[in-house]
Chains A and B, each alone.
Chain A
Amino acid sequence: MCHVINFKLCKRRRRGEGEEGEEGEEGEGGGTVEEIETRLTHSSRTAGARLARPCGLGSSSEASSCLQSPGQESDVGPIKMMASVGVRGARKKSLTLRGVDPETCMIVFKNHWAQVVKILEKHEPGRSGAGALSFLSGHTSSPSGSGALRLGPIPADEASAVQNYVEHMLFLLMEEDAGQGGAMGPILEFVVLEGVMERLFLWSLRRQFTEDMKLEQLRMYQMLLSQAKQPLLHHKPVLRPLMMLLASCAGAGTDSGGVVEAELVLLLNQLCVALVKDPSVLELFFHTSEDQGAANFLLFSLLIPYTHRQGSVGQQARDALLLIMSLSSSEPRVAQHIGESTYFCPVLATGLSGLYSSLPARLQVYSEDWHCLDQADWQQVPALVHLLHSLDFCGAVTKVAHPSIRSQLLSYIYNGFLVPVLAPALHKLTVEEVMTTTAYLDLFLRSISEPALLQTFLSFILLHTHDNVHILDTLVSRVNTPFQLGTVSLALFRTLIGLFCEDVMLQLVFRYLIPCSHLSRKQRSSLKQMGLLLQQRRLLPAPHALLVSRADLSVSDSVGYCRGSDFLMDVNYLHYLSDARQAISESHRACRLWSAPYDGINPSCDDNRSETPGGDVDEEEEFEQRVKSDSICSLVTTPPPSALSPTPSSSDTVSTSYQTGRAGSALELEWDDIFEDDDLTSSVMMNSGFANGTVTLGPPPPLPPQHIQEMRRSAIKLVHGSYVEESEFQDDVLVYDLVAQKDTKAAMLERIMAANRLARGSVSHGQQAPTAVTTSTITTMLTQTGRTVMETVNSIMSTRRRGEDGEREERIGSEVCGEEVKRRSEDGEREECRSETGRRREEEEDQKIRPESQGETRGHKVFTNGFDVKNHIISECDDADEDRQSLKKSCNQIDLTTNTTVHHKHTTHQQLLYPTMCLGTNTLPNGHNGSEPHYTTTSQGLPDNKVKNNNGFLSQYQDLMLSLGVEPDCDDIAEDIGTFRRRVRVLRQKLLEEEEGLFQESGCSSSWEDGEEEEEAMEEVEEGEETKGSRRNGVPFTGPFISVLLSRLENILENSIAVNLLVTGILAQLASYPQPLLRAFMLSTDTTHTQPNVRTLYQVLVSVHAQVERYVAARADYPALVTQAWRFLLVKDQDSKFRECLESHSSDIILDPSLPNGSVRNALALPPLGVLPPCPPIPPQAKSRVFAIVLFAEFLKELAAIAQEHSVALDCSPEE
């Protein structure tokens, strides 16, 4: 028979299902009851015997677990049954009842049932089903029923007999077709009427309700559900025992190795599938379980505990839950139940928190270049994988669930995970922990695909404030940190920028650009008329101008290279164009959803201000306050003397960059005064730079939160501890230092340049070296009239802060500058002065050496000069060590000067003799002003000292007012510090305007493209006058994010390769955004029309270019190195692209590797595939700079390509 079955099976398989040809055989088999019975018995017995246990539904582990319960004879039955049922389940086609008279089947079924009942009744005398059920209802949680014990054991043969009968019955039930019009088939009807399932369930309870018994029952239902031909769940007598079974499995123990759980979840999953297919059953599910009491929707409640389970069980449970979730979106009742009566959402959300807490607080994976958790990284951390799965599940739930569930879940995630867990984690004490958290956050953002969930995360980042600081601001400020945290933060922002999320971009960039205060009035008006449509024409030439210089760089030293690789360069540029085109169209497509085009018209730059509560000024203030209080950010170290000048002679070493870094620094970096009394003061400097030049509007800010302070301390310890020796750390600190100063320097330089231009404007052409003194004098005079007052304001503030040193009070009134210098030198900031000396001197020399440059290219030259000078420091500082001595001297001298005015004249005359001296008077004040480009920071120590300083302070104030021609009103000052601050602020503003007036009216056209822009020179002058008016809008500011990015870019030579790649990548992506406001800001080369305080990308690029040129010029070996590296990278890049092509178009004739097109190959001059030139031998210490230079050049090409593609992109116009 078995052979027959198997044979038939094979035949079936071969011929597909439902052939007519079977009829004969079946007909011969069908007929009498006996025959069916024998068929059933025979087949199941033989199959069961032959195929043994582990097959079918059971797995080997189940089998073994079953075998491990010896002495229970009754176990044999169920296992055997399951085995055979399983077999039959799998091969039911082999044993078909087709053609068999339904009535015959019914008779067989009834016969079997009668036999079963006989046995059942024997063991439960006098018990009705209902009675048994009531027994059950109080019994669900402790299944090893006492009733069974009471009644004594059941003989094994009886148990197995029941099994056999049940087996047959179930088979008959499954095979039964539904009656006409969907009515129940007779067997099902019988089952329903007799309560067969319920009695069977009770029978299994009656025998010891072991895990195995549960398994048996669960599998029975699994099979029925999956194979029955008519719907069974509609019938309460079927459903009820099922629910009871489920309930009894609720607390399924793990003692059986989770087998029951697995089966339970599988069954639940099946039920959910059935539910989704036929939601009409839902009613019954609710209804049935009402009998059970509290748990209304048992199915769901049972699944919840498995939400965060790993492995296939968890996966199955989550799938089932998702099915219910999708059901909830159409069945409000389900949604309501889940939302109101279950803990699903809290469980899900807090589960995230739990999983998060099990993540490693520090990651061990990183190399120096490591900046984000990529797949290879996170896959090695099981806890992380786990969390990502759960996060993924949350996303899936938000996607499919009813809105009420979605919002509940998101709210729990926000309030139960993000705010209480992630926010503190982002503010942990150690840099490493914070970095790890940042990397996690980045990973989460990258892995979330569901918009609603992403929205929750983003709103956390953008809007949540932790200790009164927006998470976003904290993150932005960390970009500028020296540690790997800075790199990781950059990676996070790369992710954020890549989301094309309007809200993110609004907060990071657009809210600063919308007011258009970075544009001149003319630009703004043209913006209004043209919507920047024509602006894009201007984008074109700029990158080219840079490209020239870039090209010159290489041409100058290796003409051969340039000729040879021209083609490669071109091809390479084509790739950039193509990439740019793709990036732009992608951005454009993504930004279609945005609410506004950001073209300067919508949102309007006028109404924005009123709409934004607090305005930008407050934002800035807040930000800077934050920057100030963020410990990582404000870490400054003064290295121990030994570290100060390790090898001053070696060209590109740490010390170089360090000293450069110190230049003009310290103004914006500080620790709070809290530490001033610490023993740390000697090496950790608490500079009050921010406060120096500041005016506080509101009440003094509170002390930074405890944990920030803690973090500071730990950071200090880091510095003091083992890290100090590590040059890496030093490097980081230095880099940071350097980075943080860039803005300052730029602002300062701008002033110097302005002064120079001014001077040159007022002095007739062709003056020779001797007259340069006069020039300088005039310069100084002109600038100092404004500056002195500025300086005074600054020092008033700083005096008030630092007035605790009683001895200084005496001097306050008179020697502002000198004291400033002295204090600085006392504070150990000599490097700064020295560098500035170098710079200043450099500039002086420049002026002397190139008087002829005053000719036709006057403005241009000077402007470039300024940048060059600054960058020259990199090379200059090497030998600057000797300056220290003279510096000290000069400082002392300065200290002696008492009258500021006299002092100015004095120094200007001395300039030629003591070049170092003038720094005290000129550069330092510059630095002061420059350090505060926004003038909105706060001074922390202010209130402490105000009483002490009143005298000196008052006199200074009066001086100040008088010098401005205002009658000082001394009386209120002492009592109302707030009024005073406002006043000082007004003064400052006024000064600013005056200065600008000077700057603008000098009529300097610092144009980069003199030739073409002459015609606009006139317009500029007009603008100069307008500028004052526009200033009312507040100080132009393009936002912390952009300035941080630009300062990191400016530092490209010192950055690690990873940082440079990230920074340039982010900037390129920003430049690809289609919004005219951003596009214009990123790509405009029109320096004449931007506000003087606003730094554009272009300006930074020019400055970096100057740096590069200076740097390379000073090192004979560099050009060759750069060229080699460049060629290497180009060829490598080309090669990889070529390979890509080969892979994607293997049939392409042109690129066929086996038969290379000769001309193409010749033209490409590619090395044979697979044979790359070796990486040129670049000394390791030069590597990062060499590659940075190459990268910079490539970045220019990238930007040029983006600009070009923007100009031809069709889809930019808003009306389309």
Chain B
Amino acid sequence: MSANTSRKQRPDNEEQSGHGEQRASPARLSLGKKQLPPIPKNATPITKPASSGTPAQSANGTHASYGPFYLEYSLLAEFTLVIKQKLPGIYVQPSYKSALMWFGVIFIRHGLYQDGVFKFTVYIPDNYPDGECPKLVFDIPVFHPLVDPVSGELDVRRAFTKWRRNHNHIWQVLMYARTIFYKINTTEPLNPEAAVLYEKDVQLFKSKVVDSVKLCNSHLFDHPKIDDPYAISFSPWNPAVHEEAKERMFTCKRRPEDHHKGMQVSGLSWVKPGSTQPFSKDDSPPQS
């Protein structure tokens, strides 16, 4: 099985390469050597904070002309944090069309939902980070007390009653989405049936879960629900396509070190590790 986006396949936690591709998206204005992610003009959901006139925004000091940068970078920063967290079994990728929509997939490796592969989409409010907490919607409603059986939306709000801009991060939402599959909570469920079954008849619950997991996995190779170049799509293993990518993934791990050696390093240090004295290394300078 291979996770594959419709563009070049690249799991999100594979450092900057993923970033780079996003940047190099075709429709964007090129400014010579200074290439940056400009304001995504084709991004539908972004509303100019200033024009929306929310007092919260102006209080934050997001100026009209810098708002887009601000939002964009806030989200990029969030994404960076996600990558740094190295959440086990979770992969996300912002959509091509809007930075406010992230596609994700979560692999459950043990427990009741073992072998489950659940695709989901994160919707970030456009006044992020001042608004509500992001929404997380599973593509296929998983059978779970906290997942709405119709819409597939996860009850995130119970974990983040109030979204605090400096304390809450999207990786926490993702983390939460993972936790619910390992530690099941049945209070105030969105799916009362699942909750009741879990409490009263665990066996039935389990079989329902297995069915649900099977259902999800059977739709794994379906076209992504949302048509987006960066939407996560799966395809059956095809050596012609995937072998090379797999190869690259494995070699990638070794590369950084080679990278180090070959590179012209401009920095200098004669500080002995663990010391805070300058020139404490053994080959310190010959003063006398």
Q: Could you say which of A535-543, A620-628, A1062-1070 contacts chain B?
A: A535-543
Say which residue of A514, A544, A1137 sits within 8 Å of B60 (CB atoms): A544
Interface size on B, residues (CB 8 A): 59
In residues 232-288 of chain B, which contact A (Cβ within 8 Å)? 256, 260, 263, 265-279, 284-288
Q: Could you say which of B63-71, B139-147, B183-191 contacts chain A?
A: B63-71
Say which residue of A514, A578, A608 sits within 8 Å of B36 (CB atoms): A578
Say which residue of B59, B84, B267 sits within 8 Å of A592 (CB atoms): B267
> Would A456 and B77 be within 8 Å (CB), given that A541-B60, A591-B267 are in contact?
no
Q: Are B278 and A534 in contact (CB under 8 A)?
A: no
Q: Are B278 and A463 in contact (CB under 8 A)?
A: yes
**Cα separation A1211 to B83 with both chains bound (whole Å):** 10
B167 to A, closest residue via Cβ? A534
Q: Are A459 and B279 in contact (CB under 8 A)?
A: yes
Q: Are B286 and A456 in contact (CB under 8 A)?
A: yes
Q: Does B158 contact A (CB under 8 A)?
A: no
Q: Are A1137 and B32 in contact (CB under 8 A)?
A: yes
A453 to B, closest residue via Cβ? B285
Q: Are A1012 and B63 in contact (CB under 8 A)?
A: no
Task: Give 1 or 0 for each of A857-893: 1 = CB within 8 Å of chain B CB.
Answer: 0000000000000000000000000000000000000
CB neighbours (8 Å) of B34 from chain A are 574-575, 578-579, 1137
Task: Give 1 or 0 for each of A125-159: 1 = CB within 8 Å of chain B CB.
Answer: 00000000000000000000000000000000000
Q: Are B59 and A1009 in contact (CB under 8 A)?
A: yes
B288 to A, closest residue via Cβ? A415
> Would A501 and B73 be within 8 Å (CB), given that A462-B278, A548-B61 are in contact?
no
Name 20 interchain pairs, CB-CB below 8 A, sorted by A: A451-B268, A455-B284, A456-B286, A459-B279, A462-B278, A534-B81, A537-B166, A545-B60, A548-B61, A570-B39, A570-B65, A586-B266, A589-B265, A592-B265, A593-B268, A595-B275, A596-B271, A1011-B60, A1208-B76, A1209-B80
Query: How far is the CB of B46 from the nearest CB of chain A, in Å?
Result: 15
**Cα separation A1172 to B62 with both chains bound (whole Å):** 32
Q: Are A590 and B266 in contact (CB under 8 A)?
A: yes
Q: Does B56 contact A (CB under 8 A)?
A: yes
**Cα separation A290 to B260 with both chains bound (whole Å):** 48
Q: Does B16 contact A (CB under 8 A)?
A: yes
Q: Are A462 and B60 in contact (CB under 8 A)?
A: no
Q: Does B219 contact A (CB under 8 A)?
A: no
Q: Could you say which of A45-53, A81-89, A503-511 contacts chain B?
A: A503-511
Q: Does A1115 contact B (CB under 8 A)?
A: no
Q: Does B1 contact A (CB under 8 A)?
A: no
6 residue pairs, one from A and one from B, having the closest CB atoms: A590-B267, A545-B61, A1141-B32, A503-B278, A411-B286, A502-B269
Q: Could you say which of A481-489, A793-801, A825-833, A1142-1150 contacts chain B?
A: A1142-1150
Q: Does B31 contact A (CB under 8 A)?
A: yes
Q: Are B77 and A1208 in contact (CB under 8 A)?
A: yes
In residues 75-90 of chain B, which contact A (Cβ within 8 Å)? 76-77, 79-81, 83-84
**Cα separation A541 to B73 with both chains bound (whole Å):** 11
CB neighbours (8 Å) of A540 from chain B are 70, 73-74, 77
Interface size on A, residues (CB 8 A): 86
Task: Give 1 or 0 for each of B196-236: 1 = CB within 8 Å of chain A CB.
Answer: 00000000000000000000000000000000000000000
Say which residue of A407, A462, A592, A1144 sits within 8 Å of B286 (CB atoms): A407
Q: Are A1141 and B38 in contact (CB under 8 A)?
A: no
Q: Does A679 contact B (CB under 8 A)?
A: no
CB neighbours (8 Å) of B76 from chain A are 1207-1208
Query: How far is the CB of A1209 from the nearest CB of chain B, in Å?
Result: 7
Q: Are B278 and A507 in contact (CB under 8 A)?
A: yes
Say which residue of B73, B273, B279 sits within 8 Å of A596 (CB atoms): B273
Q: Does A904 contact B (CB under 8 A)?
A: no
Query: How far is the CB of A597 from the nearest CB of chain B, in Å?
Result: 11
Residues of B within 8 A of A (CB): 15-16, 19, 30-36, 38-39, 56, 58-63, 65-66, 69-70, 73-74, 76-77, 79-81, 83-84, 164-166, 169, 256, 260, 263, 265-279, 284-288
Q: Are A608 and B69 in contact (CB under 8 A)?
A: no
B83 to A, closest residue via Cβ? A1210
Q: Are B65 and A569 in contact (CB under 8 A)?
A: yes
Q: Does A566 contact B (CB under 8 A)?
A: yes
| Interface SS of B by simple majority | loop
In residues 581-620 of chain A, which contact B (Cβ within 8 Å)? 581, 586, 589-596, 603, 608, 611-612
A410 to B, closest residue via Cβ? B286
**Cα separation A463 to B66 with both chains bound (whole Å):** 45
Say which residue of A538, A595, A1140 sits within 8 Å of B32 (CB atoms): A1140
Query: How far is the CB of A736 from the nearest CB of chain B, in Å?
Result: 29
Q: Are B276 and A511 in contact (CB under 8 A)?
A: yes
Q: Are B60 and A1009 in contact (CB under 8 A)?
A: yes
Query: How far is the CB of B209 from the nearest CB of chain A, in Å?
Result: 35
CB neighbours (8 Å) of B61 from chain A are 541, 544-548, 1009
In residues 763-799 of chain A, which contact B (Cβ within 8 Å)? none
Q: Are B66 and A547 in contact (CB under 8 A)?
A: yes
Q: Does A92 contact B (CB under 8 A)?
A: no
Q: Are B268 and A501 in contact (CB under 8 A)?
A: yes
Q: Does A414 contact B (CB under 8 A)?
A: yes
In residues 673-705 of chain A, which contact B (Cβ within 8 Å)? none
Q: Does A63 contact B (CB under 8 A)?
A: no
Q: Are B169 and A534 in contact (CB under 8 A)?
A: yes
**Cα separation A611 to B287 with both chains bound (whole Å):** 22
> Would A1012 and B38 be within 8 Å (CB), given that A507-B278, A540-B73, A566-B65 are in contact?
no
Q: Are A1012 and B165 in contact (CB under 8 A)?
A: yes
Say which residue of A544, A546, A1144, A1204 sits within 8 Å of B33 (CB atoms): A1144
Q: Does A39 contact B (CB under 8 A)?
A: no
Q: Are B169 and A577 in contact (CB under 8 A)?
A: no
Q: Does A573 contact B (CB under 8 A)?
A: yes
Q: Does A262 contact B (CB under 8 A)?
A: no
A464 to B, closest residue via Cβ? B287
> Would A1150 and B30 be within 8 Å (CB), given that A545-B60, A545-B61 are in contact?
yes
Q: Does A1058 contact B (CB under 8 A)?
A: no
Q: Are B279 and A1151 in contact (CB under 8 A)?
A: no
In residues 510-544 of chain A, which contact B (Cβ within 8 Å)? 510-511, 514, 533-534, 536-538, 540-541, 544
Q: Are A455 and B285 in contact (CB under 8 A)?
A: yes
CB neighbours (8 Å) of A551 from chain B are 63, 65
Q: Are A414 and B276 in contact (CB under 8 A)?
A: no
Q: Are A593 and B269 in contact (CB under 8 A)?
A: yes
Q: Are B62 and A1141 in contact (CB under 8 A)?
A: no
Query: How far is the CB of B32 from the nearest CB of chain A, in Å?
Result: 4
B130 to A, closest residue via Cβ? A1012
Q: Does A1015 contact B (CB under 8 A)?
A: yes
**Known A603-B274, A1216-B256; 4 more pairs at CB < 8 Å:** A407-B286, A414-B285, A415-B287, A589-B267
Q: Does A571 contact B (CB under 8 A)?
A: yes
Query: How far is the CB of A576 from the nearest CB of chain B, in Å?
Result: 9
CB neighbours (8 Å) of A538 from chain B are 166
Interface centre among B74, B79, B80, B263 (most CB of A within 10 A): B80
Q: Are A1207 and B31 in contact (CB under 8 A)?
A: no
Q: Are A1213 and B35 in contact (CB under 8 A)?
A: no
Q: Are A459 and B287 in contact (CB under 8 A)?
A: yes
